[in-house]
Amino acid sequence: MIPRNEHPNPNFYRNDYIILNGEWDFDFDFGNSGIDRKLYEADTVFGKKIIVPFCPESELSGIGYKDFMAAVWYKKIVSISAEQLAMGKAFIVFGAVDFHARVYVNGEFAGEHFGGYTTFRIDATPFLKEGDNVITVYAEDDTRDPLQARGKQSQLYYSHSCDYTRTTGIWQTVYMEFCPKNYIKSVKYYPNITDGTVTIHAEVVGDGEFSATALWDGKAVGNASCKALGQTVTVTLALEEKHLWEVGKGGLYALELSFGGDKVSSFFGLREVKLTDNAININGEPIFQRLILDQGFYPDGIYTAPSKEALKNDILLSMDAGFNGARLHQKIFEPLFLHYCDELGYIVWGEHGNWGADHTNFESLRYFLLEIEEEIERDFNHPSLIGWCPYNETWDVDGRKQDDDVIRIVYRTVKNLDKTRPCIDTSGNFHVETDIFDVHDYDQDCEIFKKHYEELTTKNILFDHQGHRQEWKGEPVFMSEYGGIRVELKEFEENDRVKAWGYGNAATSLEEFYHRYDELTTALIDCPRMIGFCYTQLTDVEQELNGIYHYDRTPKFDSAILRKINTKKAAIEK
């Protein structure tokens, strides 16, 4: 059985595709000499087998090797029919490969990509032939490279504190798709909730007629078409039925797009995000963000969920505990997860796994900025995604302070690419130019925690967490990390190198946990200047034991108790 054999991106779906997950030939390249040794040649024999899309560090890959790997190699034979070749174009699509990927087809170099988190496609058309074709992938990954973003992947051999097992090489679905020479390259949707319309900006290759039909519950409710001449095209659909996308409920229109002989299926939500002085408004209603920090790690797949059901289950576990969304933390999540968020009405913030990329060095923008652009291009159409946060906690690096221009350039790039959503420049610290001033506060003393934000209400003064390294200028305030209460209720095997970890003093009983959770959370809900909270975190991750669920997703606490606390009416909703 092919693992993760579902189409990975329902928001850009063509009928003609082949999932390439499953068994590939594999080998390590510890000396990173494989290109010199011409391992890309089609007749090269690799000595191991791996199960894609799981990284070689994971148990699901069949490898389970957890030491550093300078580079790795993959090879797979794929049979292509004459009918598929005759369609005109053939792309190999990689959900994500960490970090530098080079792709060869039948021994010929076909393309490369830098960045460990975003989707890229290789035009394999010139290199394919009828019958068997050899696809070879080289992946170079150095988590200790100061120009490379690694997220929460450990730079040490062992996992430690809030850094975990590394991910090398392919870690999301690989597939091929076939389309005509004239095809749809990308689309962006701009819904108008007042007029009940959606405007579509499409990038196309070649000439032809572009058409779009919107459907609600299988019924056509709007269509438009026009001639397109090889670059971009814009159409606006007037919707016969207006159904707003709702938090906690979702509500998606289906879209059928065509250009010449190319056909793409997609979805959109009739949803608008606006930021006011003290609230995020979704479709004109203030929504208090009751978020959970989600890092997207799995015991058996590490960065990769073992199944599509596991992806969706994480959302359902969060909603069952009374959260209405998540901050997707230090990792760009896969499109299928975002589609489930769209379906369920689960609001999320898109982040990058920026840790490791040296924000004191202007050179770090070389890869980081390109990947931010790719993330926004890919995920722009998801109604569940309500904001961007490119950086998290830009601490000093070896005594060097952040380059404020680096942070500012990325923030302004995000705002230029997406004017429909707010952007937090660097979550927690150190803010330079931002739409929302978010703070991280892991104080475990409930009374001290409350006092930090009393003056925000009474005197319009925000507690200074960072010793004047950043200045609050009256922006909306968001508690984007707090809590992290460590509770060791399940045996954790400690040794000299890997120890259980969490924030502050551990709660020693369920009663103590519930009391602390209630006091901290209620203080934020009751603050009229707070636009939301994000509790740390959804699950334990390896040695970090502050999840509301164990790492294997089994319950730690009574979800009904958490739900009762989380769903108290917030001050901004009264």
- pLDDT of 230: 73
Count of Cβ atoms closer than 10 Å to residue 491 Cβ: 6
Question: Is 60 exceeded by the pLDDT of residue 243?
Answer: yes
Q: Does 509 reside within a domain?
A: yes
Both 296 and 257 in a single domain?
Answer: no
Instruction: State the average pLDDT over residues 263-284.
Output: 96
Q: Does 372 reside within a domain?
A: yes
- pLDDT of 318: 98
Instruction: State the average pLDDT over residues 261-267.
Output: 97
Between CA 123 and CA 136 the distance in angstroms is 14
Count of Cβ atoms closer than 10 Å to residue 282 Cβ: 21
Residue 523 vs residues 448, 465, 506: alpha-carbon distances, Å: 11, 17, 20
Instruction: State the average pLDDT over residues 298-318.
Output: 98
Between CA 273 and CA 292 the distance in angstroms is 20
Both 64 and 201 in a single domain?
Answer: no
pLDDT band for position 465 (50/70/90)? confident
Region of poorest pLDDT, from 19-28, 229-238, 280-289, 298-307: 229-238
Write b or e for each residue in 48-65: b if 16 or more Cβ atoms lie within 10 A of its Cβ, otherwise e. eebbbbbbbbbebbebee
Structure tokens at 30: 């510890």
Residue 515 vs residues 75, 123, 394, 507: alpha-carbon distances, Å: 54, 57, 32, 10
Helix (H, G, I), strand (E, B) or coil at 424: coil
pLDDT band for position 498 (50/70/90)? low
pLDDT band for position 487 (50/70/90)? confident
Both 259 and 296 in a single domain?
Answer: no
- pLDDT of 490: 63
Alpha-carbon dihedral of residues 148, 151, 152, 155, nearest 10 degrees?
Answer: 10
Instruction: State the average pLDDT over residues 549-557.
Output: 95
Both 373 and 408 in a single domain?
Answer: yes
Sign of the Cα pseudo-torsion (363, 302, 388, 430, in order): negative
Both 210 and 346 in a single domain?
Answer: no
Edge-to-edge strand list for the sheet holding 285-287: 273-275, 280-282, 285-287
Does a cis peptide bond (omega within 30 degrees of 0) precede residue 53? Answer: yes
Residue 516: domain span = 283-573
pLDDT band for position 395 (50/70/90)? very high
Question: Is 60 exceeded by the pLDDT of residue 389?
Answer: yes
Between CA 98 and CA 104 the distance in angstroms is 17
Both 339 and 387 in a single domain?
Answer: yes
Q: Does 177 reside within a domain?
A: no
At residue 342's C-alpha, the angle toward residues 336 and 343, to 5°, is: 95
- pLDDT of 294: 98
Left if phi > 0, otherwise alpha if psi is -120 to 50, otherwise beta: which for 381? alpha
- pLDDT of 492: 59
* Residue that is last in its domain, among 273, 295, 319: 273
- pLDDT of 292: 98
Between CA 337 and CA 351 the distance in angstroms is 14
Both 253 and 334 in a single domain?
Answer: no
Residues with Cβ within 8 Å of 23's Cβ and at least 6 positions away in sequence, in order, are 49, 50, 51, 52
Q: Which domain CATH number covers 227? A: 2.60.40.10
Q: What is the pLDDT of residues 350-360, one digit of tens each?
A: 999 999 999 99
Q: Does 178 reside within a domain?
A: no
Instruction: State the average pLDDT over residues 301-310.
Output: 98
CB-hemisphere CA count at 13 Å for 446?
14
Instruction: State the average pLDDT over residues 207-223.
Output: 97
CB-hemisphere CA count at 13 Å for 277?
5
Residues with Cβ within 8 Å of 181's Cβ and at least 6 positions away in sequence, in order, are 88, 89, 205, 206
Both 238 and 291 in a single domain?
Answer: no
pTM higher than 0.75: yes
Q: Does 15 reside within a domain?
A: no
Question: Is 70 exceeded by the pLDDT of residue 149?
Answer: yes
DSSP codes joined into one string, 217-234: TTEEEEEEEEEEESSEEE
Structure tokens at 244: 């707003």
Q: Does 16 reside within a domain?
A: no
Question: Is 90 exceeded by the pLDDT of residue 405?
Answer: yes
Q: What does residue 406 show for φ and ψ, rounded to 5 degrees?
A: -60, -50
Between CA 315 and CA 149 the distance in angstroms is 26
Question: Is 80 exceeded by the pLDDT of residue 7?
Answer: yes
Instruction: State the average pLDDT over residues 416-445.
Output: 97
At residue 235's C-alpha, the angle toward residues 232 and 236, to 5°, is: 150
Both 265 and 362 in a single domain?
Answer: no
Contact 234, 197 (CB under 8 A): no
Both 392 and 435 in a single domain?
Answer: yes
Both 351 and 496 in a single domain?
Answer: yes
Question: Is 70 exceeded by the pLDDT of residue 65?
Answer: yes
Q: Which domain CATH number covers 100? A: 2.60.120.260
- pLDDT of 225: 96
CB-hemisphere CA count at 13 Å for 383?
30
In 3D, which of 8, 10, 84 has the Cα closest to residue 52?
A: 8
How many Å separate Cα 517 from the centre of its chain? 27
Q: What does residue 3 show for φ and ψ, rounded to 5 degrees?
A: -75, 150
Question: Is 80 exceeded by the pLDDT of residue 138?
Answer: yes
Q: What does residue 545 show for φ and ψ, rounded to 5 degrees?
A: -110, 55
User: What is the chain's mean pLDDT, rounded?
Assistant: 95
In what helix (H) or strand (E) does residue 522 lie, and over which residues does it extend?
Answer: helix 510-525
Bridge pairing between strands 232-238 and 253-259 = unpaired
pLDDT band for position 494 (50/70/90)? low
Both 100 and 225 in a single domain?
Answer: no
- pLDDT of 496: 55
Question: To the nearest whole percent, how much of the chain has pLDDT over 90?
Answer: 91
- pLDDT of 501: 86
**What type of residue sits at position 240?**
E
**What type of residue sits at position 115?**
G
* Residue that is last in its domain, among 142, 172, 202: 172
pLDDT band for position 61 (50/70/90)? very high
pLDDT band for position 489 (50/70/90)? low
CB-hemisphere CA count at 13 Å for 341?
29
Q: Which domain CATH number covers 524? A: 3.20.20.80
Q: Does 278 reside within a domain?
A: no
Q: What is the pLDDT of residues 37-47, one digit of tens each?
A: 999 999 999 99
Question: Is 80 exceeded by the pLDDT of residue 495?
Answer: no
pLDDT band for position 468 (50/70/90)? confident
Q: Which is more confident, 505 or 234?
A: 234
How many domains is the chain built from? Answer: 3
Question: Is 90 exceeded by the pLDDT of residue 466?
Answer: no
Query: Can you state the angle between helices 404-417 and 365-379, rounded to 10 degrees?
Result: 20
In 3D, which of 66, 81, 24, 71 has the Cα closest to residue 47?
A: 24
- pLDDT of 277: 84
In what helix (H) or strand (E) does residue 176 lie, and over which residues does it extend?
Answer: strand 174-179
Instruction: State the average pLDDT over residues 66-84.
Output: 98
Q: What is the pLDDT of residues 87-128, one digit of tens each?
A: 999 999 999 999 999 999 999 999 999 999 999 999 999 999
Partners of residue 291 on adjacent β-strands = 325, 534
pLDDT band for position 502 (50/70/90)? confident
pLDDT band for position 459 (50/70/90)? confident
